[in-house]
Structure 1
């Protein structure tokens, strides 16, 4: 088992331990934290606590990540918003809060579980636990994902990703006002040197390039369209934090005082690629979820 530690800071004091841990750890649910507490894998100041314990400033949280369990893939009847489907590909508008593929912290309820119920033919290139998955978006990021239904399609889409020819544009609401129309963030991303649970801009990281365009200015906030040239873990979230315009609602890289919109205000709005079989250019657009739209409406009225 791997042991991890975290010392509670002032802004975190008063939070329930299970909620705080779920906010600190990507792809970790409150129910999983509660199970760790019950099984003795998580302690505060060296002692066992209950799931409703409210942390205090200076508390030392220590937890051990149990060895990975065998994950049994089960088809689950979970509603999916299918934007496009044919014999080779499926384009899905993933809702905020849904994990893409099963993991020890999320053995079920994922996009893969839903896809297995929707269609029996998915590519096997990415292994048993990630059938059809060519690329991912974070649990609390909504929007468009392409899924391969066979290995031919998977290989073609993966090659397009590698060649940076796939068009991926995201809507992001960020803190602060950006007073220039366009910009490019070119900064390498790797594991954060101070917090291994996070990514960050580091000298020995992998190349990462994000282009952005300002769509709308508000009082204290900016709506931007981000276009990915590379696809590093948490890339847009890390890059916007790096230029001191963190994404609204981001529990990992954002400001402590922000709008509570059930995760970060980040939505994969546009997805374009060449069809693996026909070579035809396909492009899809999905508008952001209601909580995102409602926040924009409020900011427009306030401004």
Structure 2
């Protein structure tokens, strides 16, 4: 006999069907070591599931104008607004962890938005890329994004919006590269598209890299805006891939 994955998970964990579906949609459910991708996928009765535990968002800095949060993997950016009673300044994909900013003051928020528009904000990310990247690569390829009920999808096209990424290798381990990626622009899925373009997609990026992993190994690391400078350290999941993060100077 077969049943939908979320219903089997709900029975195992003694939670509602809605809660079970949400866990699968967030990429937190595994069976036989493989991520359960579709909540409605038919699976055999008796299938055993394991859940990936995530941490709660951590406040890195707070004053009367701004909040800097270290967002865990699988956490939806918009959920932070209701949790911290402030408006998002930037967003991260659900699959991306790291630094995200919220503004308490609307006048200050508009000032920050203008800084983003004028590309006067420094942004860096840390990612684990598939394969060995030996030298720094600058990717200057325009990106176009389309949106549907299945979410956003970006691709490189000649008449797209300009997009510039500088990808610098930090460490190589088991045919994977830990890299620091600085983006001058902020197009939708820019890092994921550009890294896939150079044949070194982000590990765990199933949409552009077709690589299945326990999570997508992309982390918003630094952001500098106006007189503020923020940094969000990596979590221990990166160390699981063999990278000795404490010994690295990013």
TM over 0.5: yes
1:220 equivalenced with 2:175 (yes/no): yes
Conserved 8 A contact 2:70-2:232: yes
Given the alignment, which residue of 263, 269, 273 partners 2:225? 273
Q: Which has the higher contact order (CA 8 A, sep 6+)?
A: 2
Give 5+ residue unaligned stretches, structure 2: 7-18, 25-38, 44-54, 246-250
Residue 291 of structure 1 aligns to a residue in which SS? coil
State the aligned residue count.
204
Conserved 8 A contact 2:99-2:232: yes
Structure 2: how far apart are the matches of 1:197 and 1:151?
27
Structure 1: how far apart are the matches of 2:74 and 2:165?
24
RMSD (Å), alpha carbons? 3.0
Residue 129 of structure 2 aligns to a residue in which SS? strand
1:237-276 alignment runs, 5 A limit: 237-256=192-211, 258=212, 260-261=213-214, 263-274=215-226
**Shift in Å, 1:192:** 6.6
Residue 233 of structure 2 aligns to a residue in which SS? coil
Structure 2: how far apart are the matches of 1:92 and 1:165?
21
Tell me the TM-score normalised to structure 1 length.
0.60
Deviation digits for residues 76-126 of structure 1, max 9, x if unmatched? xx953111111111111111111111xxxxxxxx2222112xxxxx3xxxx
Structure 2: how far apart are the matches of 1:197 and 1:212?
23
Conserved 8 A contact 1:80-1:114: no
Given the alignment, which residue of 256, 259, 282 partners 2:228? 282
Structure 2: how far apart are the matches of 1:176 and 1:192?
28
Conserved 8 A contact 2:56-2:72: no
Aligned to 1:204: 159
Higher strand share: 2
Residue 230 of structure 2 aligns to a residue in which SS? strand
Tell me the TM-score normalised to structure 2 length.
0.72
**Shift in Å, 1:292:** 1.6
Deviation digits for residues 13-58 of structure 1, max 9, x if unmatched? xxx787xxxxxxxxxx972799xxxxxxxxxxxxxxx93426xxxx
Give runs of ≥4 in structure 1 deviating > 6 Å: none
Structure 1: how far apart are the matches of 2:200 and 2:223?
24
Aligned to 2:145: 191
Structure 1: how far apart are the matches of 2:151 and 2:97?
25
Give 5+ residue unaligned stretches, structure 1: 1-15, 19-28, 35-49, 55-77, 102-109, 117-121, 123-131, 275-280
Q: 1:30 to 1:201 in 2, by over 3 A?
A: farther
Given the alignment, which residue of 142, 150, 155 partners 2:110? 155
Deviation digits for residues 184-212 of structure 1, max 9, x if unmatched? 1111111379x985211122221111112
**Larger mean Cα displacement after TM superposition, 184-193 or 204-213:** 184-193
Conserved 8 A contact 2:173-2:243: no
Name which one, 1 or 2, has greater alpha-carbon Rg.
1
Aligned to 1:85: 62
Structure 2: how far apart are the matches of 1:136 and 1:282?
18
